[in-house]
Amino acid sequence: MPASSEEPRARLVFLGGVGEVGRNMAALELDGRVLVIDAGLSFPEVEMPGIDLVLPDFQYLRDRRDRIEAVVLTHGHEDHMGSLPYLLREFSLRVYATPLTIGLLEGKLEEHRVRDRVEFHEVTPGEEVRAGPFTMRFHRVSHSIPDGCAVAIDLPWGVLLHSGDFKLDPTPIDGRATDLQGIAEESRRGVHVFLSDSTNAEDPGTTGSERLVGPVLFDIIRDAR
């Protein structure tokens, strides 16, 4: 990215989740402050006997301990927020997330005895939020869990748009489809960097609506002996 002085004004580092499924976590540095985007974990492969779960590499954050502004969580899946309890063992953090994601975390954090180390900020898709040098806008995306969002963050050169996990499901179960208009608005502002979920992106074809799952489950349960 363009640098006005020797230190670049912004830096984007991936602490996990690239070229693998799980433990999604990125750190965006702007004007010396760090915004963490997602804090996921992954589950061990067969060649990792005795390992229960795999965490992202927190060393980058340890080295910038007093410069962490906040954490933003796109949705409530373990591979996007499951490492937060472990992160909170080392850091006290402000966390921006939607109500369901926060709700799913509450009990988990109690269990890990780190609930008092987090300050939750509930976000509503469609709204703009400021945290230090970061101006963020949240946009609803449909996914296999409700209350997911994409996040757009203003940079001096344009917008960094992080899609979160999404599926362009025209008939989501909760009736809340991806806010394509809000995302188009970001494109009008000028997207400088686009980070997109790509699980199964190399497989041809499309996946059916989540709505199709219910009747299938119903049949299986009805026919179960």
Q: Which of residues 50-79 bind Zn ion (CB under 5 A)?
A: 77
Sequence length of the chain is 225
- Tell me whether residue 76 or residue 182 sits nearer to Zn ion (CB atom): 76
We find the least distance from the C-beta atom of residue 154 to Zn ion, in angstroms, to be: 25
d(CA 55, CA 174): 31
- Tell me whether residue 77 or residue 139 sits nearer to Zn ion (CB atom): 77
Maximum Cα–Cα distance across the chain: 71
- Tell me whether residue 38 or residue 69 sits nearer to Zn ion (CB atom): 38
- 3-class SS at 191? strand
- Tell me whether residue 23 or residue 77 sits nearer to Zn ion (CB atom): 77
We find the least distance from the C-beta atom of residue 24 to Zn ion, in angstroms, to be: 9
We find the least distance from the C-beta atom of residue 144 to Zn ion, in angstroms, to be: 7
Say if strands 158-162 and 33-37 run parallel, antiparallel, or are unpaired: unpaired
Does position 210 interact with Zn ion (CB under 5 A)? The reply is no
| 64-94 burial code (b ≥16 CB/10 A, e <16) | eeeebbbbbbbbbbbbbbbbbbbbbeebebe
Binds Zn ion by CB under 5 A, chosen from 29, 69, 147, 165: 165
Q: What is the contact surface with Zn ion in residues (CB under 5 A)?
A: 77, 165
